[in-house]
Chains A and B, each alone.
Chain A
Amino acid sequence: MSTQVTAAAASVWDGGRSPYAVNSKKFGMWLFIISDSLTFSALLFAYTYGRVSNPNWPTPFHFSPSIIFSSVMTFALLSSSLTMVMAVHSMNHGNRKAAGGWILATMAGGTLFVVLHLTEWLNLINNEHVTPAHNPWGVPLFGATFFGITGLHMTHVIIGIIYLGIICQAIFRGKFKAEDVEVSGLYWHFVDLVWMFVFPLVYLMSAKI
């Protein structure tokens, strides 16, 4: 133990080894995740500010279909995180075929999420007449923040599906290493993590009781 500590301490100052013991791709993804967290935090604070400070804030999300849809979306995203972590697990054990299969399952979960989300958006636009600038309740900030936050999150999910698609085809062709799958997994889990805040703050806080 003492030998390892001495070696690590010496090598940090020599510039020989990373003090974090992670590769540069993984560290870069972590830095991106932290910066993106602040972007989403600022948007969610803007939404929460409007929600708390305005007693007339609209509550358009009926249990059916909005809350049911968003709950199924949450289930799809959480399950896709489980399949993603299984992909990383398989890749760490050198099982490329299984890893590819788990990534395909993750992409299916993400696609289900996007389809349900777009259906929910269309329901809100066509039936509740909510747009980013107008809504029947006279609180334009609602539409602006709702479509801003959920739109940015959905963009992240779509980019994640494309990213995983690229990783998946490379794995089946024998390219890329376990660390590449792990880095893509970090991104996917972050997308899931953001939804863990968007779902309660945006949907549940504006649910029609």
Chain B
Amino acid sequence: MSTHAEVLEHVEGAGTLTFVRVWIALLGLTGCEIFLAYEQVGVMLMLSILVALSIIKAALIIAYFMHLKFERFSLFVTLFPMLVFCILLMTIFFLGDAVRLPFMRPGI
């Protein structure tokens, strides 16, 4: 149960100015992504940069908008390592296969 002191701690942890700054940063990163889409780069390089930018954006949203930065570390440790582990498993099993597949086609 959250106490009044804890609620106040949340309020002081991130103010209106911080939220606006995060929003501007998110818009800026989105602008970078759109710019990148129209640059002639390889599929894997573009995918890597877009995913990296998206992870930064997700981290900003989770930390500031979803207040996780101001929660107890135990909550983060309980929730996120297994999510990251599952996503890494999917990356290892599926992405490597997807990259290899075009070179396995007949005539290539």
Contact = CB atoms under 8 A, between A and B. Distances in A.
A38 interface: yes
Given A37-B83, A193-B58, A196-B54, A22 B65 contact: no
Given A30-B75, A41-B87, A200-B53, A71 B94 contact: no
Question: Chain A: interface residue count, which band?
Answer: 35 or more
A41 B61 contact: no
A70 B23 CA distance: 17
B97 A49 contact: yes
Question: Chain B: interface residue count, which band?
Answer: 35 or more
A190 B102 CA distance: 34
A205 B50 contact: yes
Interface stretch (A77-85, A126-134, A138-146, A164-172): A77-85
Contacts of A23: 1-2
A188 B65 CA distance: 10
Interface in B37-72: 37-38, 40, 43-44, 46-47, 50-51, 53-54, 57-58, 61-62, 64-67, 71-72
A24 to B, nearest CB: 9
Contact of B37 (A19, A38, A45, A204): A204
Contact of B61 (A19, A45, A71, A192): A192
19 contacts: A18-B1, A20-B78, A34-B82, A41-B90, A45-B91, A48-B94, A49-B95, A52-B43, A53-B101, A67-B34, A67-B37, A179-B2, A186-B66, A193-B66, A196-B54, A197-B58, A200-B33, A200-B50, A201-B54
